[in-house]
Structure 1
Amino acid sequence: MGRKMEWAGREKHMRGIPRKMVFLAVGAFAKAVATLLNTTSVHNADTLIRLVRSRPPGIPLLTVSNHMSTLDDPLLWGFKGFPSLDANLARWVLAAEDICFKNSVLTYFFRLGKCIPITRGAGIYQEYMNEALQCLNNGAWLHTFPEGKVSQEDAPIRRLKWGTASLIVRAHVTPIVLPMVHSGFEEVMPEKFFLDRRPPFPLCNKKIKIMIGQPLEFDIPKLTELAISKSSGDVFSSTTTSRGWPVISFFGLDLDEAAQRYLYSSISEEIQSAMEELRSSLK
């Protein structure tokens, strides 16, 4: 637990100075790569900027995108006009524990960068997900890569992991969900550049495209009732292995594992569909 360093991610840690320095440096790097060294075009940027800057108080924002490279974040936020140097407006993001939190130096740096470690394969009710949930409950902006891993193939959006859907359901206030899809980062930071390794620095003269969709709205009480109805008799999970999830309550309704599976699956499918529609318009 020592590697977690949750204290380093707090806004008041050393009066916020280390965090501000990290975002100034990383934000400048993202701006340089996305706008000076490469060409970035963004569709519907105003919607994202408006939601980041001036959404209603207390309303969380959850952005989701495909995952094309290890530099998607922070480069996604380096486009012209985005406040990528402002630590207060910056997103929180789920980041792979085995990559970004391998030692105390990396852990401290990524914690200052408002990154939350996620242990791949540990399930949607792992302790770190509660930290992500707390961000949403604080009305903050959280970004996730719900496909769960980098894929540089020009292929349809893969089946989404259910962690993002579980956060939408469990948040005290249902977040504004904004889907995004991008291309080009797989050329800026290819996984297999030389001897099956990534290049030491981002590549230049590439075209980056970012498609930002429209906010998705989820009627969680209605979806919860539907999930209980559809999953009655445990039909939904009869062909799948039980994960031993706890029974949870929303709006006075108890959801067993079968109902949770149905609920998270239906929300994930809607997000996946919206992302795939954006991906098809990238061409």
Structure 2
Amino acid sequence: MTTMKWAARADHLGGIPRKMVIKAVGAFAKAVANLLNTTTVYNAETLLRHVRNRPPGVPLLTVSNHMSTLDDPVMWGFKGFPITDANLARWVLAAEDICFKNVVLSYFFRLGKCIPITRGGGIYQENMNEALDRLAEGSWLHTFPEGKVCQEDAPIRRLKWGTASLIARAPVTPIVLPIVHHGFEKVMPEKYMFGRRPLLPLFNRDITIVIGEPITFDVPELKQKAIEASRHLSYSHAGWPNTTPCGLNEAAQRCLYTTISEQIQNILEKMRSSSKSCLKTPKR
């Protein structure tokens, strides 16, 4: 399926199609989050501050658990968030087999600032370079590092290395902001009727979104530690590029991506575990 990079450009047809899609999707997200359901957000000001006022040229990378196919865009539909602003809207990694099935869907999701990712295609697949380009521009990118929807009340699963590779390879290390949410699995359950999702979002559900604090990564130091830790390790190089995008060999890259992924996973899990006990006093 064509990646339609031209449709993702800000100047495509004067930017009008993008603005129309972002406004329409934003209105839908706000309706689902605030009219059909009840959404409570904790520490929203941290997300708002980094979306609107981070230093020029510094990218923002938000990461979250993945509870349903509606997580994005509805998680940005809470009151006070500028979801209908096409300039501030996030870029997001989206599953190619779901969002890019045909030309119409591809065009729509491209206008909505989605980057197609082939699940199982590896961390060095072509479209990951586009994600790196967005970070190099200082844009906001969202990822679901678990890699797929999980609606069970269970610990955060082992994260895929794609997000870690973006952090390590970005020209400017992004601000990494963790987010944990609950309730989307009830708004769009995977097995609602006859083992299928409902045609429309369900209503009268409670959605909770918890924004964490930025995670700091000293990438040069982490690279050096990865080199030291991998001195006596070797791998087959199957599926890995001959050149090393990180300036590290495969063994060091594996150590580096594991370290970054485990740090993010541990923080998301701590947030997930503690969020149920901190829902009594909403902070907006």
Tell me the secondary structure at the aligned position of residue 40 of structure 2.
strand
Aligned length: 276
Instruction: Specify the alignment match of 2:197 in structure 1.
Output: 198
Instruction: Specify the alignment match of 2:128 in structure 1.
Output: 129
State the Cα distance separating 1:170 from its structure 2 match: 0.5
State the Cα distance separating 1:281 from its structure 2 match: 1.8
Instruction: Specify the alignment match of 2:255 in structure 1.
Output: 262
TM-score using structure 1 length: 0.95
AA in 1 matched with 2:248 = L
AA in 1 matched with 2:154 = A
Instruction: Specify the alignment match of 1:278 in structure 2.
Output: 271
Give, in whole Å, the separation in 1 of the partners of 2:127 and 2:70: 22
Instruction: Specify the alignment match of 1:119 in structure 2.
Output: 118
Give, in whole Å, the separation in 2 of the partners of 1:244 and 1:216: 28
Which sections of structure 1, spanning at least 5 residues, go unmatched? none
Give, in whole Å, the separation in 2 of the partners of 1:268 and 1:48: 21
Give, in whole Å, the separation in 1 of the partners of 2:224 and 2:243: 15
Alpha-carbon contact 2:169-2:245 (below 8 Å) kept: no
Tell me the secondary structure at the aligned position of residue 233 of structure 1.
coil
State the Cα distance separating 1:246 from its structure 2 match: 3.3
AA in 2 matched with 1:166 = S
Question: Are 1:102 and 2:101 matched, yes or no?
Answer: yes
TM-score using structure 2 length: 0.95
Instruction: Specify the alignment match of 1:248 in structure 2.
Output: 244
Distance change (3 Å), C-alpha of 1:146 and 1:249: closer
Instruction: Specify the alignment match of 1:177 in structure 2.
Output: 176
State the Cα distance separating 1:247 from its structure 2 match: 4.2
Deviations 1:185-215 (A, max 9, x none): 0000000110001111100000000011000
Question: Are 1:59 and 2:55 matched, yes or no?
Answer: no
State the Cα distance separating 1:242 from its structure 2 match: 4.3
Percent identical across equivalent pairs? 69
Give, in whole Å, the separation in 1 of the partners of 2:29 and 2:250: 41
Alpha-carbon contact 1:187-1:203 (below 8 Å) kept: yes
Which sections of structure 2, spanning at least 5 residues, go unmatched? 277-284
State the Cα distance separating 1:136 from its structure 2 match: 0.2
